[in-house]
């Protein structure tokens, strides 16, 4: 993905996250709004899963796994929040949905750990990016996470290879 593509994707994900958060916090939550919020958060989570990798991608299946698992985890977290807001109590389905979203996030994080190591991303940077991904898939906090990815899309440097020493 080019730098321009990363910038466009991250701002598109940020727009989806902002609209979903506005709908979540300002409107009367109904089944139709719930579906719209869920769709927006799933798309924003998928975009965050792709933007975390930067310009290069390690293997097709690792990339696809990170994107899909991030999107599905965002869907489970959104379902947890909207179910809690609609019912007003934490029932068993709400807790199960939160746990499932957490497990899917951990699997996506493990996949990114392998992908980041393959791409040569330092451990501290990987941990920071995984924290941004966690923020990007939790409803309400997803605006902060996607804003972080939008800023990183501008700041990230292209992959540079070291020059080999001259043979003597």
Quick: pLDDT tens for 9-51. 999 999 999 999 888 887 667 777 888 889 999 999 999 988 8
Q: What is the pLDDT of residues 104-158, one digit of tens each?
A: 999 999 999 888 888 888 889 889 999 999 999 999 899 999 999 999 888 876 5
Residue 54 located in a structural domain: yes
Containing structural domain, residue 109:
3-155
In a domain, 72, yes or no: yes
Whether residue 83 lies inside any domain: the answer is yes
Q: How many structural domains is the chain composed of?
A: 1
Per DSSP, the residues of 7-61 read: HHHHHHHHHHHHHHHHHHHHSPP-HHHHHHHHHHHHHHHHHHHHHTT-S--S-HH
- Residue 129 belongs to some domain of the structure: yes
Residue 162 domain-assigned?
no
Note whether residue 137 is domain-resident: yes
């Amino acid at each position: 993905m080019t730098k321009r593509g990363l910038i466009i994707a991250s701002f598109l994900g940020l727009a989806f996250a902002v609209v979903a958060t506005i709908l979540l916090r300002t409107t009367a939550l109904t089944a139709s709004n719930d579906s719209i919020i869920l769709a927006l958060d799933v798309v924003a989570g998928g975009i965050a899963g792709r933007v975390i990798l930067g310009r290069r991608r390690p293997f097709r299946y690792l990339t696809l796994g990170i994107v899909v698992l991030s999107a599905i985890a965002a869907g489970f977290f959104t379902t947890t929040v909207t179910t809690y807001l609609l019912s007003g109590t934490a029932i068993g389905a709400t807790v199960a949905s939160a746990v499932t979203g957490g497990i899917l996030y951990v699997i996506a994080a493990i996949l990114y750990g392998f992908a980041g190591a393959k791409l040569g991303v330092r451990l501290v940077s990987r941990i920071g990016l995984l924290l941004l991904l966690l923020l990007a898939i939790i409803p309400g906090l997803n605006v902060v996470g996607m804003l972080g990815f939008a800023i990183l899309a501008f700041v990230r440097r292209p992959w540079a290879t070291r020059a080999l020493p001259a043979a003597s």
